Every structure is written in C-alpha cells, then in structure tokens.
Structure 1
Amino acid sequence: MNDLIRQAIAAEADERVDSRTVLAELHKRRKSKPFGLIIGVATLTVAAAAAAVIIPTTIKKTDAAPANAPVAEAQNVLLIGTDETHRSDALVLARFEGDGSATVISLPRDIYVGASPDRLNSLYMQDPRRLVDAVEQLTGTRVDHWAAVNMAAFGEVAAAVGGVEVCLNAAVNDPYSGADLPAGKQVIAGDQALAFLRQRHGLPLGDLDRVKRQQAFLAGFAAKITGETGPVLARLVGKAVQVDEGWDVVAFATRFQGPVKIRTSTLLVNQEVVRDSAYGYAVDPAQGKKFVEEQLSGKGQAGTGCVD
C-alpha cells in the first residue's frame, strides 16, 4: 500500500507513472488493508476534517473528468480524533455533498449515551460500530462511513501546509495542554497546533470551547489545501488514519477538486450532569435530531472568527 501511494506521489512530480493505473490498483486492493486519506478533523477532524482530498491532487493535470460524469450523492461520514488510548478527543459528523462542500457538526465528546453512564468518548475504543450506532441514535441521521485519525498527527499535518491560521480572543498559557499563544490572528503548526486543539482548562466553557477551536482549525486548514500540498499530506495522513473497510475511498475522493467549503456548528447540549461520579452532557432527543436536520439542510455557519 505504501508503495502504491509513493507511485501516485511520483506521478504528480514527473508523470512517469499513469495515476489512473495507480488509483485502479488502490481500488482493487483496498479490502486487504484499511486505506484512509482524511484531512481533518478532526478535525480532527478535526478536524477534522475534509476526507479524501489528497487523491485528486495526485492525478495528472491532463486527466480531466468526463463531461457527463454523474453527480455524486451526499455521504455522511463520522470523523473521529483519537488520543493515545483510543478515546475520542474529537467527534464530527460531516455531510459531504456531491460538489465537495461539507456541513460539519461537532459532537461534544462527553455526551452521555441515552440513560447509560457511558459517554461518546469511550465507545470507539470498545467497538467502532457501537460508536456509529450511538451517533445515529443521537442525531437521527445515517452514518455511511467512519474515519479515525490520531490527534497527535495534526501538528505535522499543519506544518505540511505551511501552518494554519487561527485567531484567539485572548492570550493563553495553559500548562496542561502546553498551549502558549498570544491574542489575535496567528499561524500555528507542530506542538502548538496540537496544544491549541487539546486545550480545555482555563476556557470559559471547557470542552465546548475546545470544540470551537477544532472547528476554527478545520476551517483554516481546509483553506490551505492545494495540489502542491496533497502528496506531502498523503505521506503524513496515510500513516495515522483508519477507515471502515466498506468505504470506497477512491470513488469518494473524485468529488474533491480543490479546497473544501465548510459550514460548522455544534450539537446543542443541556447543562452538565453527573452519572457514576462523572460529568457529562445530556441531549434532548427531539431537539438534538431537529438541530441536526436543520444544520444538514444548509443552516451552518461558514467560518468561526476568533475563539476563546
């Protein structure tokens, strides 16, 4: 698999390899090993995340899409940002439209699953299918596919695109996450990018403000994706991502022809509650499903501005 990716990257550099042949081979072998190319997020995901943007950038400039190509159907993808223990630091439900645009709904990781003491952040390490089922029940929306990315990779990913621009309302110096950043607009990468995404201590709304940071990072990151950055990102992201085996990533990627237009929002939650001595959020089932339906119909916001 790594050799095939290197062939695709080489095709962009000197066109010695026919990229269509490489992509066809990737498609044929995808069942033997999960093949994930996801930019995000996490966000993450991160940020999340715009998924599978890289493959089109490795296609030779002369390989135009057929004029009568059918419009791709919208797909809902659950993007999961994991920590070292495989807990979910970031959860994003993203609807990718046929034109490559995306509606991103952040799901606070500490949402309780129904009336149980389990929170969303613990389910992926138990069983990815259990997390998918819980998200479908919570949102009333089908999840077509999922992709999980190690959050630790986002510092390198940000550096690969020359840094990601974010904006802070106030300076931060947090010993827990390592975030040490001034107020205002700035470009972050490496350790400070990861610290920016992980900080929750010292923020007015804790985890909910961290979700806003993940959205801001994702929007800034998507704006930096270009044909030149694609091959570099392929090397970095391919090592840190896993997707469900039923996902035809190659076919999915054909809808992306440039930077992804993203609309963002966060699932509405009630005040913190305590179950089994652990804090978390409850979600009104009817309100949650209505909120998701409205956002996926196009009411999310483009861009996030400065964040806490």
Structure 2
Amino acid sequence: MNPWLPTSPCTPLTCAGHDGRTRGRAAAVVLLLAGCAFILAGVLGAPFVLLLAAVRRERLIRLWAYGVVRAFGVRVRVIGPPGAGAPGTLVVANHISWLDIPLVAAVFPGRMLAKSEIRNWPLLGRLAVVGGTLFVERERFRALPATVRDIAAALRGGSRVVAFPEGTTWCGRGGGRFGPAVFQAAIDANATIHPVRITYRTASPRSTVAARAVGGGGRSPGHERAAPAEHTAPAGAAAFVGDDPLIASLWRVVTAAGLTAEIRVLPQIPAGDCPDRRTLARLAQTAVANDSAKRSPESFHH
C-alpha cells in the first residue's frame, strides 16, 4: 500500500456539521471576500517577501498567516511558548482542514509538505509554489525515496519543514496513523521533531445560553462571555474531508460563528533518540493524540 495514500472514514455529510451559532449571509460573504483578499495579497507579495532578511521574512509570514485565519472569522489560540521551534526542525501535526496550513504557519513558518494536487488550487496553489512547498506525487510509489531525500536535504539546509503525517484529513474526533516516511528524512538529517496538536472548537449551544445568563439580559448578541473549556465542542465546520469541494468548506467556516482554532505546541523529540522511523512516528503520534499533554502554562488568544 502506498504510504502517501491513506484512507479516512470521514465524510462531509457525517463529520462536517455545525450546531452552534451561525452568521448571516451578508456577514459571511464579507468574511469570505476578506479571507480570499488576504490570500491574494500573499500571492502578490510573496516574491518581494522572499527578498527580505530571514528574521523579517519570518515575522511577516507569521503575521500574514495569522491574518488569513482571522480574516475568515476564526479566532486563534496558541498554547505553549510563542516563537518556539528552531530552523532545521520537522514540525508534524494532525490534519483536519485547509485552515491547518495558515494556522501552523502563524507559529512555525516553513516549507510545507503537500500533495501535488494543491498546485492546481486557485490562489493557494500559486502561493504554495512560490513559498517553496515540497510536493508529494502520492500516486507514484517509486517517487517516495526521492521525496524523502528532498525533505532531508531541506532539513540539513536549515529549512523548517511542516508535514501532516496522517496523509489525509480527519474530522478531529480521532485521526489516523502517522506514516513513517517523513520521519526517515528527519533521521537521515539528524533533525529534531516538533509535534503540535490542532483542534477546532466552538461554543456548544447550552454554553452560549449559560454565558448569556451569566452576562445578564443586557448583553447584545455576539458579545457573550467566553464559554469555559469544558463547555466547548469539536468544530466540525472546519473539517475539510472526503470529496468536499473547497468552496463548500470555505462557506461552512465563514458561516460558523464562534469558531476557534487551537494549536498546542508539544515537547520536541530528537530524531537521534529513536532506533528507527516507525518508533519515531509512534512517539510523535502519541504526543499529538494525547489531550492531557503537559506544557508551559503560557498561552495567548487573538
């Protein structure tokens, strides 16, 4: 079986629902246009940003990526030390949505590992090419060794590489196995693995009602007090799964009010500490899957 072509049971019909608050059509259209405008600005500005010094370039990429997520109406929550992650590391995350890409880039700008089909996506495809994305020809099993060599070379050269080792998107209620191929590249380059966990949450209907009750009857709609963490639910609206058209996923995101994207920065794993790529993949997968992973209490909301 081709390790780049895993299958997921998630489908738009069963996994991409939203039972929380929604935005009106006019507000949703404004957010959709704003998000697309941010992406277009990235496409047009990328050639000039690449001419900047590394520190300034990374700062601008982080600001732009954060802006993309916010422009689509999604709040961002980062748990862990901001600015962590040195160049030359392999950042690995679970995979839920197209939003994962700008979300990770807002914390860890780097060269993304992505399926070759993304080249043909409107706006995002052009941006991926200009941004130095490492493309995977998933239908060609024989291309696997060359792809691993390319990733290892990028890591040795000091690039931060971002990968989603599940190989496909899941709805966020439990994902797939981390494929070992990308971890072989980390071993070959003697790189460090930096796992992160991505979660999309929305206030459940009952928590919204409770927040209104706490805030009193005088609070206007859209200004409810933030619900406690235990009263939030996985946000299926963010899931981009199965044969879901991109435009349908975009529309679900901008119409789902109260959507928060959370990225949890987890402890690093030196590739040299593991005897083989499968062990390394299991360690990273366990770290990402463990909701109770303990980190620094530092966190910030946007």
TM-score (norm 1): 0.27
- The structure with the largest helix share of the pair is 2
TM-score (norm 2): 0.28
Name which structure has the greater RCO, CA cutoff 8 Å, separation 6+: 2
